[in-house]
Amino acid sequence: MPWFLAALLCLSLGIPSAGALARAPSAPSIGFGHPESGNVSSVVNMTDAPAFTPRSLSANVSSTLAVHLVNQGEYNHTFTVSKVPDVVLNTSWSPSSLSTFFKTNGSLANVSVAPGQSAWANISFNASVGGDSFEFVSLVPYQFQAGMWGFINLTVSGPGTMLQENTTDSYSFVPDVLYVPNATHYPIVIDVLVTNTGALGHTFTVSSLSNYTLSPANFSTTFAVNAPLVNAPVPSGAGSTVWGNFTVKAAGVYQYICTISGHFANGMTGDLYVGVPPPPPVPAPSTAIVDTWVLVGSGVLLGIGVLVAVVAAYVGRFPKAPGASEKHH
């Protein structure tokens, strides 16, 4: 009987132990930023509109900007970067005047991309051009005049910070918290490689307002007044990737969402912490059946039960069964 009691006490000991484990805090889903070695990548689509998408790129003076050019149209296009900083080319120029400008002043890059093809343009900068901007155009006659132009904007910050983000068909970003801990001066260039892990297309859209909460009801009107830092379409299909390249001017918390109808409303949002530590993990709700005091009490009772059993076995506290030679009187 004492051993049976001890077994029951062991069972009761395991119940509060499982409850204590359930109270352990869950690990946060945080993607940490890492300083880049000096190379920044960006994707620029060329369309027959004609236009570059996006038409604004960010880089820093100590980096090499690698631009992946994708011709989505049926005509040839060029990606030709002016070598003269802070000069806005005149869209009223004739194609020959535009060509003469580049022949006279040179270019940082001049890449021609055939229909349906892709290519890379690698552009290096140095500290002497910090804070400048360089216009890029298509030299195919009349494409620049029709709107095929854009700008590369440089900052004087050090190498940028790279992060990685994933999109899912369950309408979520994984991780849903991105953290840039090494932001010591501003503006800072941030490059996020977004990978689609599902079949649905998404967007990676970062609010330009720090410490401001977007909602499915207000994000459209908010972006109409305050353009997002980046609005990168994430192509459909598992394994598809896109770079979200943007510049943050001050420390704070910047919310990012998917702007495709219904995705944000279903929870597709996250927070980017720049120079601000994310909050500590919140402990998971307790599922314990009993509390710690029961755990201690069970241990004491277990010790008493074992002690009683040992004493009974050696001292003879319980009477022996009558032997065969003993007779009843």
For residue 38, is it within any domain? yes
Least confident of 38-52, 82-96, 132-146: 38-52
> Token digits for 216?
């499915």
Q: Return the CATH number at 186.
A: 2.60.40.420
SS3 category, 290: coil
Residues in the chain, how many?
329
Q: Is residue 318 predicted with pLDDT exceeding 90?
A: no
Q: Is residue 34 predicted with pLDDT exceeding 60?
A: no
Pairwise CA distance, residues 72 & 47, whole Å: 5
pLDDT of residue 22: 39
Q: Compute, in degrees rounded to 10, the torsion defined by CA atoms 56, 60, 62, 64.
A: -20
Pairwise CA distance, residues 184 & 190, whole Å: 13
Name the amino acid, one letter, at 151.
F
Per-residue pLDDT of 94-139, as tens digits, reads 999 999 999 999 999 999 999 999 999 998 876 555 557 889 999 9
Query: Percentage of the chain surpassing pLDDT 90?
Result: 47
Q: Is residue 12 predicted with pLDDT exceeding 60?
A: no
Domain of residue 245: give its range.
Answer: 160-278
What pTM was computed for the model?
0.50
Query: Quick one: 143 and 236 in the same domain?
Result: no
Query: Quick one: 154 and 164 in the same domain?
Result: no
pLDDT of residue 21: 39
Q: What percent helix, strand, coil does the chain show, rounded to 5?
A: 20, 35, 45
Query: Quick one: 129 and 191 in the same domain?
Result: no
For residue 320, is it within any domain? no
Question: Cβ distance 47 to 53 under 8 Å?
Answer: yes
Residue 329 banded pLDDT, cuts 50, 70, 90: low
34-62 average pLDDT score:
78
Domain boundary among 278, 293, 320: 278
CB-based contacts of 308, cutoff 8 Å, min separation 6: 2
Query: Quick one: 173 and 140 in the same domain?
Result: no
Q: Which of 266, 248, 261, 256 is nearest to 176 (CA)?
A: 256
Question: Cβ distance 32 to 294 under 8 Å?
Answer: no
* Phi and psi at residue 301, to the nearest 5°: -65, -35
Query: Quick one: 232 and 201 in the same domain?
Result: yes
Query: Quick one: 152 and 201 in the same domain?
Result: no
Per-residue pLDDT of 127-185, as tens digits, reads 555 557 889 999 999 999 999 999 887 765 555 678 899 999 999 999 999 999 877 67
CB-based contacts of 258, cutoff 8 Å, min separation 6: 167, 171, 173, 202, 203, 204, 205, 264, 268, 269
